[in-house]
């Protein structure tokens, strides 16, 4: 029997992204980039808070509050209060913002930047380490996405979801220094349905990737082999994260495109849940 995706919330997010499960609260947080909002779902109730800029990715801080990568830099956020600049981004071009990001297994935040106008197809994006500043790790990205880490933290995954690229790479990752090296092709998504958007890793070390435009979530083995694909009732799933009391629910955010007929996907922009039969890993709080 095919696995069914369950609608958790008809959020109608313009660009739902970066789901993060917070075990201490038994709550899921995520963002709507274009709406400049941070959402929370807990015990069937949803709340949202406005922020001053487009917010691309978030992580709970070990010292309390949140860290958020936005348009002009990285900020600390107390929900319901003005964000405070932590590190300003020296973007090489106007019109850029942060995109996908998450913490490594040691709680160090990494996040990528992109030119907001994807039609420009400019490889001016960078993956940054957020360690007392913004340190560039990977250059010449168009739309950085799919950031995830293996269970032992020694492999880093990164994709570029732009239609010109559509590749996922694996890197050896130094858990002491937090630096990736030995970049290699992990999956060429041009040969598969969808573009490689946000991702998560399960306890078996398999890489779950949202196949944007194809309405699928793919699971790849640590060798880069496609293990399974699960269908969603929307075309643009954007990022996934494991959560729930046993970390065995895969939550998936999605995008509600503007200016097109959504008759065949009325739930676009919703938050969904899958029960894939495998557990995930708790994300460590951010030490920044």
Contact (Cβ atoms closer than 8 angstroms) between residue 159 and residue 183: no
Known active-site residue 197: yes
Q: Which of 32, 104, 197, 202 is catalytic?
A: 197
Known catalytic residues are 197
């Amino acid at each position: 029997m095919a696995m069914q995706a369950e609608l958790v919330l008809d959020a109608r997010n313009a660009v739902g992204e970066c789901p993060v499960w917070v075990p201490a609260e038994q709550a899921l947080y995520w963002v709507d980039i274009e709406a400049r909002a941070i959402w929370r779902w807990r015990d069937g109730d949803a709340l949202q808070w406005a922020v001053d800029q487009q917010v691309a990715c978030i992580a709970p801080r070990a010292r309390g509050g949140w860290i958020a990568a936005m348009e002009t830099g990285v900020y600390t956020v107390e929900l319901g209060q003005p964000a405070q600049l932590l590190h300003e981004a020296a973007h090489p071009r106007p019109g850029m913002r942060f995109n996908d990001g998450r913490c490594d297994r040691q709680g160090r935040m990494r996040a990528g930047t992109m030119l907001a106008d994807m039609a420009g197809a400019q490889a001016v994006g960078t993956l940054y380490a957020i360690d007392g500043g913004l340190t560039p790790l990977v250059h010449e990205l168009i739309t950085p996405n799919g950031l995830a880490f293996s269970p032992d933290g020694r492999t880093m995954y990164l994709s570029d979801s732009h239609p010109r690229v559509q590749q996922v790479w694996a890197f050896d990752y130094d858990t002491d220094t937090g630096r990736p090296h030995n970049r290699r092709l992990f999956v060429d998504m041009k040969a598969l349905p969808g573009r490689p958007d946000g991702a998560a890793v399960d306890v078996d070390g398999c890489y779950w990737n949202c196949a944007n435009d194809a309405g699928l979530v793919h699971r790849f083995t640590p060798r880069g082999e496609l293990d399974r694909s699960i269908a969603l009732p929307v075309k643009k799933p954007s990022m996934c994260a494991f959560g729930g009391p046993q970390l065995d629910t895969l939550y998936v955010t999605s995008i509600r495109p503007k200016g097109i007929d959504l008759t065949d996907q009325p739930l676009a922009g919703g938050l969904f849940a899958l029960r894939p039969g495998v557990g995930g890993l708790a994300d460590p709080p951010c030490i920044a």
